[in-house]
Structure 1
Amino acid sequence: MTFFIELVGWLGAILVLGAYLLVSMGRLSGNSAAFQWMNALGASFFVLNTWWHGAIPSMVLNIIWGAIGFAALWRIRRNRAADSR
């Protein structure tokens, strides 16, 4: 189980850092669904990892980070649905 938790944590790190790198390089837009998915999933994976390790402040930060990402995805989806009408 510990190996799985660590793997999830590293995957979260790769997703969040990858999203930041791609936006910084101009490969993704901060408003894109891909960027928001990478951040939201990465944060969610960090929540599991930090909970396991008892790092509660980091866990709370990542819960908020993920909520922001999922809210942005909801906004993107809502706007796409409105545009297609």
Structure 2
Amino acid sequence: MPLFADLLGWISAAVMLYGYAMVSSSRMAGDGLPYQVINLAGSVALMVSAASHSAWPSAILNVAWAMIGLAAVIRNARSDRRTVGLR
């Protein structure tokens, strides 16, 4: 399990860094669904990795990050649904 948790942590950190770089370089919208999904998936994976190493402050931070990401994904989905209904 420790090797899996380490790999999961490194991959999810790289994915989140990619999302941040894309938003920072204006290649992706920070309030868009792709960025929010990247943040949500990355935070959940980092939460698992941190918890497996008993790094509780990081794990709890990523729980909060995931909750914020989930709220943003839901908000985007509702907004997209309303937009599609208006067409």
TM-score normalized by the length of structure 2: 0.93
For the residues of structure 2 that align with 1:59 and 1:12, how far apart are their CA atoms? 13
Partner residue in 1 for 2:73: 73
Taking the aligned partners of 2:42 and 2:26, their CA distance within structure 1 comes to 20
- The AA in structure 2 aligned to 1:43 is S
Alignment of 1:5 with 2:12, yes or no, is: no
- Quote the Cα distance in structure 2 between the aligned partners of 1:13 and 1:36: 15
Q: Report percent identity of matched pairs.
A: 33
Q: What number of residue pairs does the alignment pair up?
A: 85
Which SS does the other structure have where 2:26 is aligned? Answer: coil
- Answering whether residue 66 of structure 2 is matched by residue 56 of structure 1, we say no
Structure 1, unpaired ranges of 5+: none
Q: TM-score, normalised by structure 1?
A: 0.95
Superposition pairs of residues 35-54 of structure 1, within 5 angstroms: 35-54=35-54
